[in-house]
Amino acid sequence: MLLKRLTDACGMPGGEGEVREIILEEIKPYVDDIKVDRLGNIIATKNGKPGYPKVMIAAHMDEVGLMVKSIDDGGFIRFAQAGGLDERILVSKPVLVGKNKIQGVIGAKAIHLQEKDERETPLKTKQLYIDIGAKSKEDTEKLVKPGDYIAFDSEYVEFGNNLVKAKALDDRAGCAALIETLKHDYNVTIVAAFTVQEEIGLRGATVAAYNINPDIALVLEGTLCSDVSNVPEQSYITKMGDGPAISLMDSRTIFPKDLAKRIFDIAVKNGVGIQYRLPSAGGNDAGAIHITREGIPCAAISVPCRYIHSPSCVMSKDDFEGLKKIIKLFLEDIKEGEYIRD
């Protein structure tokens, strides 16, 4: 299964190679041109008909994770964050270190040894370490070096009411949807950008959008879903099972309302579930794309994901299927001459 392959693969910001190889293999039969730029973005073009716009569709390949900083005398690994992680979820999580995916566990001082103030305060990253079972610094150095990437060791699982649990649904869900989109033919020209380093500052999208210079752009994402216990309903950013979410505003972008409404209305007309993502913190590749060159009209369509930026993100497969349908419907609805700049 494509989504399982993508989420099981490891791809920290700047180290997306394993994910990139899967995507290149998947899209090759369906596009007319493929390039990998100097930053590592995949730029794949599927030609349409003359007179129709060039549509950039972006999904980022990287996931939040960790990086090796140093190794102490006991052979334990000290690490830094690569992307925005909640430090409260790190303790005791199994991880995979480096290209050889050495198994380890994130550890901390036992609660029995902690002072009262330590027990009452969430542990900081600097207080944590990774135990790979080595006896000494020398043993660890044979397997691990500073700069090695560290991924969460978390498998894809289907459970409950058609739900999925996996790491990296932000944004392997978007990558999988974009791959499926490329399997169909359209009048518009599609330039698919599988971007790098979104989680540390939208860096891949900045380069890709400048290079592609599209007429309009779509960003496919996994996004916040807060429909859980102890959160009042009026504070839900999105709701799982209500369909993909169209963004109106986030911390990096105010989206064109006419474009967002058009996509929303197309979904409703065709009986596909859809919702608006309420304005909130966070952002995505649209933050870089929409201010490229003289400006690019951009829409973001996201799959709601509970527990985002953790080893155990949860997504509805129904919402994911809805995302694929909405993309296809919108691309097929674009008329000759629309969105093309003078």
Q: State the catalytic residues.
A: 198
Cβ-contact 274, 264 below 8 angstroms: yes
Axis crossing angle, helix 317-333 with helix 257-269, rounded to the nearest 10: 110
Nearest to 221 by CA among 158, 276, 286, 316: 286
Taking a C-beta distance cutoff of 8 angstroms, is the pair 171, 286 a contact?
no
In DSSP terms, 85 is beta-bridged to none
Type and span of the H or E element at 8: helix 2-8
CA quadruple 308, 309, 313, 318: dihedral sign: positive
With contact defined as beta carbons under 8 Å apart, do 141 and 73 qualify?
no
In 3D, which of 189, 220, 188 has the Cα closest to residue 289? Answer: 220
302 vs 339: CA distance, rounded Å? 22
> For the chain, where are the E strands, in sequence order?
33-36, 42-46, 54-60, 65-71, 77-82, 94-97, 102-107, 129-131, 149-152, 157-159, 163-166, 189-195, 216-224, 245-247, 275-277, 298-306, 313-316
Structure tokens at 330: 């919108």
User: 278 is written with which tokens?
Assistant: 């309420």
